[in-house]
Homo-oligomer: A and B are copies of this chain.
Amino acid sequence: MPQQKSEHIPRATIQRLAVYVQVLENLQREGTEVISSEPLAKACNVNASQIRKDLAYFGEFGVRGVGYYVKNLIASITSALGVDREWRTVLVGVGNLGKALLNHKEFRLRGFNIVGAFDCDPFKIGEEVSGLEVVCTKRLREMIGDNGAEIGIITTPPERAQRAANHLVEAGINGILNFAPSRITVPDHVNVEYVDFFHHLYALSFNITHPNTK
């Protein structure tokens, strides 16, 4: 991994890096081995200097007159993001969405290995989903002590998200991906990311309703 040059990486850079990885993975699937910065920038919907600036936080990439080696650049970015390793993950809330995520092959493919499934519904406890036995949420702390998970995924209904977050924080988790459509409060050392479908649907409906404001 190239030495990280700067302490403070803007959040927008991290978001764009995730987009660059997706675009590079598309290119890799299509068999592209090398790409110059202009077409890469166009595919990522940014300008070439933005890509160079974002990558510069992590070191020197690209070969003058050649461009970027797709496979190497994916490896460098995922290494910089810390996603070139396994992240053991637990999921709280085994409803439709929780089950879908437990069965979603992409999580494991990208190193996010879901090693525990929790729910407080007595009818769900003991059920097996995608090879995992659903365990009572009260046992989170004890189970995480065993399985060493670092990231928690919340897929409960909105009114149970805060309780799930409390259990995760008490169990020592310091990163939460919240799919429940409600905000949660956690201590400062805990990172929360919201996957909010409706935020995106609201943006779509606004843009369709007001096409001239795009």
A residues at B contact (CB < 8 Å): 4, 7-9, 11, 14-15, 17-19, 21-23, 25-26, 29, 43-45, 80-83, 87, 96-97, 99-101, 103-104, 106-107, 110, 112, 150-151, 158-159, 174-177, 181-183, 189, 191, 193-214
Q: Would A198 and B100 count as touching, CB distance under 8 A?
A: no
Q: Tell me, rounded to whole Å, the shortest Cβ–Cβ distance linking A109 to chain B.
A: 10
Q: A212: nearest residue on chain B (CB-CB)?
A: B7
Q: Would B183 and A23 count as touching, CB distance under 8 A?
A: yes
**Which residues of B lie under 8 Å from residue A159 when comparing CB positions?**
29
Number of copies: 2
**Which residues of B lie under 8 Å from residue A26 when comparing CB positions?**
158, 182-183
Q: Which of B22, B45, B96, B206 contacts A103 (CB 8 A)?
A: B96
Return 30 A-B CB contacts under 8 Å, by A number: A9-B206, A9-B213, A14-B203, A15-B203, A17-B202, A18-B202, A19-B199, A45-B183, A81-B206, A81-B209, A82-B205, A82-B208, A82-B209, A96-B99, A96-B100, A96-B103, A96-B104, A97-B100, A101-B197, A107-B197, A112-B201, A150-B208, A177-B197, A177-B201, A177-B204, A189-B211, A191-B203, A193-B201, A193-B204, A195-B200
**Which residues of B lie under 8 Å from residue A158 when comparing CB positions?**
25-26, 29
User: How far does the alpha carbon of A7 sit from the alpha carbon of B204 in the complex, in Å?
Assistant: 16
Q: Tell me, rounded to whole Å, the shortest Cβ–Cβ distance linking A204 to chain B.
A: 4
Which A-B residue pairs are the 6 nearest by beta carbons? A82-B209, A100-B100, A18-B199, A193-B200, A175-B204, A96-B100
Q: Tell me, rounded to whole Å, the shortest Cβ–Cβ distance linking A100 to chain B.
A: 3
